[in-house]
Amino acid sequence: MHDYVVDVLGAQNIVPDALSRKEEIHRLMGLSQPNFEGSEEIQKACTNDLEDSLNFLEKIIPEALAEFAEDQRLGRLSRNLQKISAWAEFIGYAGSISLKFRDLNRISEDEKCVKSSIEIAITRVNGCEEEKERLSKLCEKRMMKRLSVVQDSADALMALADIRDGGGPFQGPLSVSLAGMLSALISTHKNWVSC
């Protein structure tokens, strides 16, 4: 049985020097297997094999633990980089939202000016088709800006969920999924309109 196991291990290169150990054991045992006169030497050979196995384990376990620790360290680094990225996204969305509110105020002021121009043109019985067309474009632009604010707010909510690891109100999986779906729908609508 021992010969068969050693042959298999040696043939598979699982234990590279298994065949040389087999030959050593055969030499110690003599030409025939029933010859047990060298049993002390056989025990020494088996003890050496056991010691070699233990030495192997003593070397591989610390290496495996060191690799595990490195993976843990890289995992922490990766999580920290993800948090930094999420913070950068969140700040970017907050800045974008504030700029879009500023744009909405400007659009609202432009609409008021165009509406007053239309009222003046109507009282003077002048043509105001150009102003009506401009007002229509401003209304459409205002709607798109409002949709952009909603989209950025949904994206900011997802970034905030990444920062807080999904903890906190409105940051559970369902809320984040709905925010993602809302953002995707608005993006689809904006792309559709621009085509």
96 shares its domain with 172: yes
pLDDT band at 127 (very low <50, low <70, confident <90, very high): confident
pLDDT for the residue 44: 60
Q: What is the pLDDT of residue 27?
A: 55
Q: What is the pLDDT of residues 2-14, one digit of tens each?
A: 454 445 444 444 4
Identify whether residues 34 and 8 lie together within a single domain. yes
Residues 106 and 62 in one domain: no
The predicted model gives 52-72 an average pLDDT of 69
User: What own/partner pairs with CB < 8 Å and gap ≥ 24 does 92-101 have?
Assistant: 93/152, 93/153, 93/155, 93/156, 93/159, 94/156, 96/148, 96/152, 97/149, 97/152, 97/153, 97/156, 100/145, 100/148, 100/149, 100/152, 101/149
Q: Specify the 3-state DSSP secondary structure of 161.
A: helix
Q: 57 or 99: whose pLDDT is higher?
A: 99
In a domain, 88, yes or no: yes
Instruction: Give residue 24's pLDDT.
Output: 57
Q: Which is nearest to 15 in space by CA: 5, 23, 28? A: 5
How far CA 125 is from CA of 118, 129, 131, 132, 156, in Å, comes to 10, 12, 14, 14, 49
Print the domain residue range for 23: 2-68
Domain presence at residue 73: no
- For residues 115 and 29, membership in a common domain is answered with no
Burial profile 17-47: b = 16 or more Cβ within 10 angstroms, e = fewer: ebeebbebbeebbeeeeeeeeeeeeeeebee
**Same domain flag for 60 and 86:** no
* Same domain membership, residue 155 and residue 111: yes
> Is the residue at 167 inside a domain?
yes
**Residues 124, 174 within the same domain:** yes
Residues 30 and 87 in one domain: no
Q: Are 186 and 150 in contact (CB under 8 A)?
A: yes
16 and 59 share a domain? yes
- Of the residues 68, 101, 122, the one at which a domain ends: 68
Least confident piece of the model among 88-92, 121-125, 149-153, 158-162: 121-125
DSSP state of 34: T
Q: State pLDDT tens for residues 132-187.
A: 889 899 999 999 999 999 999 999 999 898 888 877 777 778 888 899 899 999 98
Is the pLDDT at 84 greater than 50? The verdict is yes
Instruction: For residue 77, tell me if it sits in a domain.
Output: no
| Global pTM value | 0.58
Question: Domain for residue 75, yes or no?
Answer: no
Tally the domains of the chain: 2
The verdict on residue 172 lying in a domain is: yes
Residues 177, 90, single domain; the answer is: yes
The answer to whether the Cα torsion of 7, 12, 18, 19 is positive or negative is positive
Residue 62 has pLDDT above 50, yes or no: yes
Choose the weakest-confidence range: 41-50, 70-79, 94-103, 183-192.
41-50
Whether 174 maps to a domain, the answer reads yes
Amino acid of residue 73: R
Same domain, yes or no: 118 and 39: no
Q: Are residues 183 and 109 in the same domain?
A: yes
